[in-house]
Amino acid sequence: MFKRLPGDEARNLVSTTPDTAVVFRPAVLKTPAIITFLVYGWRFLSALIRTTWRHPVAVAVSVVLGAVWYASGWPAAASTLGLVVFSLLSWAFTEPGSFSRIVGFRLLAWWRLMSVYRRHWHGVMDVSGLAKRVNGRVYMPRLLRVTCDGWADRITVRMLGGQAIKDWSDRIDNLAHGFGATSCRVAVIKGGRLLLTFPRSDPLASPIPALPVPDEPTVGPVEIGKQEDGRPLRLKVHGTHVLIAGATGAGKGSFLWDTIRGLLPAMRAGLAEVWALDPKLMELSFGRELFQGRYAADPADCADLLDEAVSVMQKRATRFAGLQRSHVPTIEDPFVLVLVDEVAFLTAYQPDRQLRQRTSAALATLATQGRSVGVGVMAALQDPRKEVMNIRNLFPDKIALRLDESEQVDMVLGDGARDRGALADHISPIPELGAGVAYMRLETSPEPIRVRAAYVSDTDIRAMVAYYGQAA
């Protein structure tokens, strides 16, 4: 009546009537009860050990309260619990910093884990396509750990075997919206493990006033603002070159003037010099008295000043050859920082072809040979395209302020920077919210960090000129 089926499947047929579909009864393996009890017992013991290891304080409190209840009754346990709560509240009000670091952020991490991430983990992974189905079985990335600080949640994740970081970086919008955050950033911890950062608030939402001028002369790193995690932003200028890109009104001048402000004591002591090229005549001209005659605005004068910087660099290289490989600032050989505002006007938009070639050649020479002999370049521009700034890869440290297009982020910070969360094209165009906010990618770290430079007002610049310009 039926065709011969492979194996023993024919004996599992449970219906043979023509109007009923053929149904196969799956084979059932009867497991002895003792094995079932052993399996569930092992799972319970493993979960207990894992919970104790991950949450030792919570387990200890529960065990102590239970022991007090068993030994002295519930009034004693309630009194003990009240004493603990009162002590924690007193600690929180008297020493909020240490309480948050030791207790508060741990409790917040546990609450966020249970109420947000573990609750929505399977759904977000499935909808975003990060979970995989193979032969009817679902494989899910593993949520390992949640930690919190004052502004963000950080999630440690174990990827599925065969996944790549690009699988996650392509879905940062899915992850952010899935867990109710404004953005998500992806970083590699080690092979197979990622760190997802979900900001809860924005510590850089308010403008930062101009920072005090340092008391001691130093050539860096100079403090110019604040990082997103609350730490001071210190920018290295000696021994590197810095490229700053941002649309009009993004706050490029803040980075230039903060750097000058941080170098003022060193300039006064003769350990540093700032040479300023200001073809726009609107930014660095406010403080031209600070530059000791090393200021140029006319394109021809800018080319001459760059040629002079190349000459200084080459003379130092000749004297240092065979004697030293790195530069130490001295009065005889001070650190020279060449500031170029709107560098694209000199390298791309300059109508005089000869001047354009001279400028580009001098900048390329300084960028390739200058940092080992104490000559650095900090250049700012609006358009980061290769045809506008064809030597942008010669700058080890790069800063991207607000940009007009998402493609420009990788042009400035390097391939993959936007996928890792450097959303420079999403920075607010409102000056109070977005001016001076940037993503910075340093030579020593491939991961972009979000920062904000302090705002140096015209009044601050005039005060700098009035005090340090006379001394110069």
User: What does the pLDDT look like over 89-107, one tens digit per residue?
Assistant: 888 788 877 888 888 888 8
Q: What is the side-by-side strand order in the sheet with 445-453? A: 232-235, 222-227, 445-453, 437-442, 397-400, 242-245, 375-381, 335-340, 272-277, 295-296
276 assigned ligand-binding residue: no
- How does pLDDT run across 328-358, given as a tens digit for each residue? 899 999 999 999 998 988 888 888 889 989 9
When the pLDDT of each residue in the chain is averaged and rounded to a whole number, the result is 86
| pLDDT at site 26 | 63
What pLDDT sits at residue 30?
78
At 2 the pLDDT is 46
Give the helix ranges, DSSP H, for 271-413. Answer: 299-320, 343-347, 353-369, 407-413
The answer on whether 156 is annotated among ligand-binding residues is no
- Flag whether 398 is marked binding: no
Q: pLDDT confidence of 12, banded at 50, 70, 90?
A: low
Percentage of the chain beyond pLDDT 90 is 44
C-alpha–C-alpha distance, residues 153 and 181, integer Å:
10
Mean pLDDT of 452-460: 93
Inform me whether the pLDDT recorded for 472 exceeds 60.
Answer: no
- Specify the pLDDT at position 36: 86
pLDDT band per the 50, 70, 90 thresholds, residue 21: low
Q: Is 247 annotated as a binding residue?
A: yes
pLDDT bucket at 119, cuts 50 / 70 / 90: very high
Distance CA 53, CA 464 (A): 56
Q: Summarize pLDDT for 184-207 with one digit per residue, the tens.
A: 888 888 888 999 999 988 889 899
Least confident of 10-14, 32-36, 126-130, 254-258: 10-14
Which pLDDT value is given to residue 25? 63
**Nearest alpha carbon to residue 350 among 402, 301, 398, 282:** 301
Rg (CA), the chain: 31
Measure Cα distances from 309 to 88, 267, 314, 371, 436 in Å: 61, 17, 9, 12, 29
Question: pLDDT tens across 356-387, in order?
Answer: 899 999 999 999 999 889 999 999 999 888 77
Joined together, the tokens standing for residue 71 give: 């030994």
Measured CA to CA in angstroms, residue 86 lies from 17, 81, 367 at distances of: 75, 9, 61
CA distance 250 to 237: 21
Amino acid 84: pLDDT:
79
Structure tokens at 217: 């002369």
Work out the pLDDT band at 246, boundaries 50, 70, 90: very high
pLDDT at residue 460 tops 90: yes
236 is in an annotated binding site: no
Burial of 195 (0-12, 13-18, 19+ CB in 10 A): middle
pLDDT at 233: 93
Indicate if the pLDDT at residue 254 is higher than 90.
yes
Q: Count of residues for the chain?
A: 472
What is the rounded average pLDDT of the residues 234-259? Answer: 93
Per-residue pLDDT at 139 exceeds 60: yes
Asked whether residue 143 carries a pLDDT value surpassing 60, the answer given is: yes
Mean pLDDT computed over 149-158: 91
Residue type, 284: L
Distance CA 328, CA 372 (A): 10
Question: Would you state the pLDDT for residue 5?
Answer: 47
Q: Is 100 left (phi over 0), alpha (psi -120 to 50) or beta?
A: alpha
**Paired strand residues for 234:** 223
In the chain, what percentage of residues exceed pLDDT 70? 93
pLDDT at 1 over 50: no
- The lowest-confidence range among 27-41, 187-201, 300-314, 445-459 is 27-41
C-alpha 98/C-alpha 255 separation (Å) is 33
Cα separation, 282 vs 276, whole angstroms: 12
Cross-strand bridge partners of residue 449:
440
Most confident of 276-290, 358-372, 382-396, 457-471: 358-372
225 vs 462: CA distance, rounded Å: 20
Ligand-binding site membership of 226 (annotated):
no
Give me the DSSP letters along 8-73: TGGGGB----TTS---BPPP-PPPPHHHHHHHHHHHHHHHHHHHHHH-HHHHHHHHHHHHHHHHH-
Instruction: For residues 425-453, give the mean pLDDT.
Output: 89
The amino acid occupying position 38 is: L
Please check the confidence at residue 70 and state whether its pLDDT lies above 60.
yes
246 is in an annotated binding site: yes
- Would the CA dihedral through 4, 9, 12, 13 be positive or negative? negative
Distance of CA 440 to the CA centre of its chain: 7
- Selection from 408, 47, 428, 462 nearest residue 202 by Cα: 428
Q: Per residue in 201-226, is it b (16+ CB within 10 Å) or e — as a string?
A: ebbbeebbebbebeeebbbbbbbbbb
**Average pLDDT over every residue of 14-43:** 71
Is 266 annotated among the ligand-binding residues?
no
Mean pLDDT for the stretch of residues 155-184? 90
* Model confidence band, residue 17 (pLDDT cutoffs 50, 70, 90): low
**pLDDT beyond 90 at 456:** yes
Average pLDDT in the 146-152 region? 89
Strand-pair category, 272-277 with 295-296:
parallel
∠ CA 326-327-328, rounded to 5°: 125
Structure tokens at 463: 């005060």
pLDDT at residue 452 above 70? Answer: yes
